[in-house]
Amino acid sequence: MIDSKTKVVGVVGKPIGHSVSPAMHNAAFSNLGLNYVYLAFEVSDLDGAIGGMRALDVRGFNVTIPYKVDVLKYLDEVDGLAKMIGAVNTVVNDDGMLTGYNTDCSGAVDALVSKVKLKGRTVAVIGAGGAGRAVAFGVAEMGAHVLVVNRTLSRGEGLVSSVNGFFAGSAECGTMDDLKDASVIVNTTPVGMMPDVGGTPVLKKFLRKTHVVMDIVYNPVETRFLRDAKSLGCVTINGVEMFVGQGAKSFELFCGKKAPKGVMWDAVLKLLVSRV
Ligand SMILES: NC(=O)c1ccc[n+]([C@@H]2O[C@H](COP(=O)([O-])OP(=O)(O)OC[C@H]3O[C@@H](n4cnc5c(N)ncnc54)[C@H](OP(=O)(O)O)[C@@H]3O)[C@@H](O)[C@H]2O)c1
């Protein structure tokens, strides 16, 4: 029951109306009997929103598009990995001290390592935006070689140079033709996402049955990219795995309890299926 002791957490972004984070986190709080509530805040004024979070002693919040980079300048501390990536998706408020983390990174890495060894392998990262950066740094930290394939070459080169700044020689730019040399391909672009479900970030002709293929798009759960890969016999990983992984890490940062991942997974799938 919500009462005067309820701790408030949430997500800030714009737009936010389709976020599945409230359903996922509230299911987890309810399952563990924790007196927390998770809300979605559609924010146009980030400066004002952060001031409000401090003033109202909100326990923490997730940050989504378009604020994952902008939020950094408002924080008192930024975790080392988030600093490297240059993006924050989770903020914890300890008595007015705001600390930023990037749980997208560990969410993606945990989803990958559940299916494939990363050390010494080449991981192709399609896209070089915020999520692409999180995946590229995460797999480089695990000892993988990163092949960045991005529509805009200069942005891809920027990511390669920042990864190499921390993990010397572990990243390079490539093209679709270079995917044949990769063991793992991760889509981090929005291509294939609802409502444009006919799109794919990588044409089937570039896929091999030996590829492990992950799509971080989670709506729909099975994208055309994953369907194409499955039809060739590839091992596939859907975006819900990363989504629940990042959410579980954030949950643990907010309340210090082990996240009930199964409950979170069911809540996300139930909501996504209801929207089809
Ligand atoms: N599963 C999860 O937990 C999770 C977590 C975070 C994000 N996501 C999803 O990941 C996706 C990307 O998020 P983001 O924050 O990284 O976005 P972003 O910062 O805007 O980056 C988007 C990237 O995709 C590329 N791109 C966009 N449209 C493209 C197109 N039509 N063809 C080829 N490349 C295209 C962009 O290339 P250019 O550089 O050429 O513009 C850029 O590299 C979103 O769909 C988001 O929902 C999922």
Active site residues: 68
For the chain, how many residues are written?
276
First to last CA, the chain: 31
| d(CA 216, ligand 1 centre) in Å | 9
What is the C-alpha separation between 75 and 100, in angstroms, rounded?
7
User: In the numeric block, which tokens belong to residue 83?
Assistant: 């600093």
Question: Would you write out the chain's pLDDT as a tens digit for each of its 276 residues?
Answer: 899 999 999 999 999 999 999 999 999 999 999 999 999 999 999 999 999 999 999 999 999 999 999 999 999 999 999 999 999 999 999 999 999 999 999 999 999 999 999 999 999 999 999 999 999 999 999 999 999 999 999 999 999 999 999 999 999 999 999 999 999 999 999 999 999 999 999 999 999 999 999 999 999 999 999 999 999 999 999 999 999 999 999 999 999 999 999 999 999 999 998 877
Nearest CA to ligand 1 atom 20: 129
Q: Is the CB of 217 under 6 A from ligand 1?
A: yes
| pLDDT score for 218 | 95
Q: Is the CB of 85 under 6 A from ligand 1?
A: no
Render 52-94 in DSSP notation, one character per residue. Answer: HHHHTT--EEEE-TT-TTGGGGG-SEE-HHHHHHT--SEEEEE
| pLDDT score for 1 | 83
For residue 251, which of 34, 17, 68 has the smallest C-alpha distance?
A: 34
> Under CATH, what is the fold of the domain 105-237?
Rossmann fold (3.40.50)
| d(CA 54, ligand 1 centre) in Å | 30
Break the chain into its structural domains and give their ranges.
Answer: 7-101+241-275, 105-237
Same fold, 7-101+241-275 and 105-237: yes
| d(CA 33, ligand 1 centre) in Å | 35
| d(CA 98, ligand 1 centre) in Å | 27
Cα 210 to Cα 75, 180, 200, 260, 273: the distances in Å are 43, 9, 19, 33, 30
Nearest CA to ligand 1 atom 30: 191
Strand partners, 41: 12
Nearest CA to ligand 1 atom 39: 152
CATH number of 7-101+241-275, picked from 3.20.20.70, 1.10.10.60, 2.40.420.20, 3.40.50.10860: 3.40.50.10860
Q: Is the CB of 88 under 6 A from ligand 1?
A: no
Judge contact between 82 and 102, C-beta under 8 A. yes
What is the C-alpha separation between 177 and 186, in angstroms, rounded?
15
User: In the numeric block, which tokens belong to residue 167?
Assistant: 């993990």
Pick the atom of ligand 1 nearest to 107's CA: 3
